[in-house]
Amino acid sequence: MTAFKSSARSPCLYSSSRGDMVEAAVTMPLLLLVTFALINFALVGHARNSAQNAANHGARVGAVTASGAGSAARQEAERLMANCFCTYSVTVSAVNAPGGTVMVVVAWTVPSYMDGFLQVMGGSAQGDFSGTVSASHRKEGW
């Protein structure tokens, strides 16, 4: 008496039925799309948080700098954004008088990794993800 019954399937490692092939052909593109979307949206979230932190810290540095608030704020914001994988631009407006406002605006852009895949699947390209964040602080008096 045998404990195991033999199956009708071939014992070959690469054998598969038609149903398995159809299932893989349907689910694999969806799985790839979800994976690309998760990666892309994580990069977008990271870029936005990095830009917000850079704008806030740059404005704070500009607010406590005695002279040259605009250049100090720009340098600090660009220093913090240098480690970000996105493209960015920093704009600063500052009033050097005590009580003036130092405002730092960081615009960021992250490339979309889903465009090529969506075009192959018959969808339309959405373009890059971009955004703008700003922070302002009151200039401290000296």
pLDDT digits (tens, 9 = 90+) for 99-124: 889 999 999 999 988 877 777 777 77
Structure confidence at residue 108 (pLDDT): 96
Residue type at position 116: G
> In which band, very low, low, confident or very high, does the pLDDT at 93 lie, cut at 50, 70 and 90?
very high
pLDDT digits (tens, 9 = 90+) for 22-76: 788 788 888 988 898 899 999 999 999 999 999 999 999 999 988 888 999 999 9
DSSP sequence for 86-134? SEEEEEEEE--STT-EEEEEEEEEE--SSHHHHHHTT------EEEEEE
CB 92 within 8 A of CB 75: no
Integer Cα distance of 67 and 71 in angstroms = 9
For residue 54, how many other CB atoms are within 10 A of its CB? 26
Can you give the pTM of this predicted structure? 0.75
Structure confidence at residue 16 (pLDDT): 59
Structure confidence at residue 49 (pLDDT): 96
Q: Is 136 helix (H, G, I), strand (E, B) or coil?
A: strand
